[in-house]
Structure 1
Amino acid sequence: MIRIDTRFVIAGLAVLTSGLAATPAGAQATRTWVSGVGDDANPCSRTAPCKTFAGAISKTAAGGEINCIDPGGFGAVTVTKAVTFLCDTTEAGVLVAGTNGFTINAGDADVVTISGIDIFGPTGSPGLNGVRFINGAGLNIRNTTIKGFNAQGVSFEVGTGDTAFLNLDNVIITGNGATADASSGGVRIAPATGATANVVLNHVRIQDSKNVGLRLDLTGTTSTKISVQANGGVITNSGIGLFAKALPGTGTVEVAMVDALIAGNGSLGVAGNGSGVTGRFANNTITANGAASAAAATGVSAGNGSVLASYGNNHLDGNLNSAGAVANGAFTGTIPPH
């Protein structure tokens, strides 16, 4: 007869049950997956993926990553923690009507990344904002197209007294804004009072926006700062291409723009409004703007004490007013070489 020492059986069961208790059933994974044929009832693993970003994010740990296995429309999502949506190797989309594609309302230390995703508002029933940033440490968007939203392609709002960054890299923002809403357009940077927004645009195309392509606006704030560095890219829209506003007492807007094409905007190419605006421009081409505008200067327009300075190597020509006359405007000064 084989005898079993029950002391070892009991000890083994104790170890097993303690190990199970250390891994709760609702544990979140650092990497999850979505698929066009997935199911949000799944654990979002590689072999049992979820169907939507909203389904996957609830099963993804803070600081984790959501990957796309194959093509699919993965739906709108609200992001309340640090997470990366990485879908560069397949066709991944978010198609929404009447709402935001991505809403970022995360913690003060959280960074969110969106990469390789087409974010669309359908024709006839457009979305609200493609991406709306309300709170967080920063937002990276890369290799992404944002199209067809009535408010903004990207709305970057930093909370009162906070500091956050926005990096756009190889992003196309096209066909956003509504004619009836003068504040709408392609990209709007509008931090709250006492906040700082640090923005880097690398090879970003903002086109076919209603009203304003890139709006840097401190209306209604105090002690606020926007800093924008732009390298390469194209700005061509039905209204103003680049508009920066910082009237006295609101704060400062600083722009450094290099190697961009600002052309074919229906109103002004570059416009500054207020003494808090300082722009520095190098090797940009500003042309063919303003054919529909009666403004005296349609290429570069510096109003209310704004400073729009050139490094002396920009190309400013071919900008017209509504009468068909050349109305290039002028930079407020030339920055001498050092």
Structure 2
Amino acid sequence: MHAFTMIRGSLMLAAALLLCPPAHAQLFRAYLAVNGNDANPCTLPAPCRLLPAALNAVADGGEIWMLDSANYNTATVTITKSVTILAVPGVQGSVVATGGNAITIATAGVKVALRGLVIVPLPGAAGVRGIEMTNGERLTLQDCLVSGMPSDGIRVAGAVRVRMTDTTVRDSSLSGLILEDGAMAAISRSSFLGNGFMGVWAVGNTAGTTTQADISDSMVTGNGLGGVRAQSNSATASVNVAVRDSSLVQNYPQGGAAVSSGGPATLSIANSLVSGNVEGVIASGTGARAWLSGNIVSGNSTGFWNYGSGAVLESAGDNAMRNNGTDTTGTIGTVTKK
């Protein structure tokens, strides 16, 4: 009898375990929808509503799909794992800065991709930046809009690689995109429009860092303190910015600027339109270098201006200078193509 009781108890325990619902395994692909619920498992049949729930449900390296045009956060979205967040074609998935940044990334090694997102501030709230990344391996933006941020549109600091394509950053109170202290960006087919400070600002503040940006097929227009700026604020902080096949138009005061307090700050511009700025391209300060080839430079108050103090501004001799108030000011060197 005793043995029978033990066997019966074991069978009942096994049955109970079989009937217990399993814990949700993390998903490779999580889903968000306007009619979702964060108590759901974030699957396609039972989507979640907000990004934090989907980030908890998705595995490292997974994807989050936004199925409807809607806002998908109520507070700063903090990303601590590698993930791709995308809106399906035809949908505008938005992330709103309600207090602080809309999206914050500060975890070593993460690779984050954002596709088809609209990032804006909530009117009257204490929003700051659209995206701020201060640690991690890579940030990819494709077909995104960052608009009207009370601070910078996007700030990336540290040894992070940035890939940006078909993205617009506009009407930020400060800079559209600021790259600091080791960030490296490849930007193509993107626009930086009407930002209060610089459109794209690559700056080295920390000794021993190298900050780089390559900008191609892009538009930098109507920014309040300059279009594209390479700036070194430390004797051993290097900044290198290359612009090609792009438009630097109607920025105040400069379309492009290399500015240095002693460290190397290099700005190269090739095959681009530099027009309607107060100063088309300048170089200022020891360590500042501007190299120019094949550009149309027209309608600026001054086309090229070497401010001196050790700066170098050189032309390949093939820039088309027309209808500027003054074509050149200061020492403009000429280098031959090799």
Q: How does 1:192-231 map to 2 (within 5 A)?
A: 196-219=182-205, 221-231=206-216
Q: How far did 1:20 drift?
A: 9.0
Q: How far did 1:333 drift?
A: 4.6
Q: Which whole-Å CA distance do the structure 2 matches of 1:174 and 1:56 have between them?
A: 28
Q: Which whole-Å CA distance do the structure 2 matches of 1:42 and 1:334 have between them?
A: 66
Q: How far did 1:92 drift?
A: 0.9
The amino acid across from 1:166 in the alignment is: V
Q: Which whole-Å CA distance do the structure 2 matches of 1:176 and 1:126 have between them?
A: 14
Alignment partner, residue 294 of structure 2: 313
The amino acid across from 2:170 in the alignment is: T
* Secondary structure in structure 2 of the residue aligned to 1:45: coil
Q: Select which of 20, 43, 46 maps to 2:44.
A: 46
* Secondary structure in structure 1 of the residue aligned to 2:52: helix
CA contact (8 A) 1:265 1:288 kept: yes
Greater shift in the superposed pair: 327-336 or 135-144: 327-336
Q: Which whole-Å CA distance do the structure 1 matches of 2:146 and 2:45 have between them?
A: 30
Alignment partner, residue 113 of structure 2: 113
The amino acid across from 2:65 in the alignment is: N
Say if 2:184 is the partner of 1:171.
no
Q: How far did 1:337 drift?
A: 3.2
Q: How far did 1:334 drift?
A: 5.3
Against the structure 1 CA distance between its residues 85 and 251, is the aligned structure 2 distance closer, same or farther, given a 3 Å change threshold? Answer: same
Greater shift in the superposed pair: 148-157 or 240-249: 240-249
Aligned-residue identity in percent: 25
TM-score normalised to structure 1 length: 0.82
Q: Which whole-Å CA distance do the structure 2 matches of 1:203 and 1:232 have between them?
A: 5
CA contact (8 A) 2:257 2:267 kept: no
Against the structure 1 CA distance between its residues 125 and 332, is the aligned structure 2 distance closer, same or farther, given a 3 Å change threshold? Answer: farther
Q: Which whole-Å CA distance do the structure 1 matches of 2:70 and 2:155 have between them?
A: 25
The amino acid across from 2:103 in the alignment is: F
Q: Which whole-Å CA distance do the structure 2 matches of 1:329 and 1:48 have between them?
A: 64
Q: Which whole-Å CA distance do the structure 1 matches of 2:240 and 2:324 have between them?
A: 31
**Which structure has greater strand proportion?**
2
Say if 2:138 is the partner of 1:138.
yes
CA contact (8 A) 2:212 2:239 kept: yes
Q: CA RMSD in A?
A: 2.8
Against the structure 1 CA distance between its residues 167 and 20, is the aligned structure 2 distance closer, same or farther, given a 3 Å change threshold? Answer: farther
Q: Select which of 273, 276, 280 maps to 1:299.
A: 280
Against the structure 1 CA distance between its residues 138 and 16, is the aligned structure 2 distance closer, same or farther, given a 3 Å change threshold? Answer: farther
* Secondary structure in structure 1 of the residue aligned to 2:167: strand
Alignment partner, residue 294 of structure 1: none
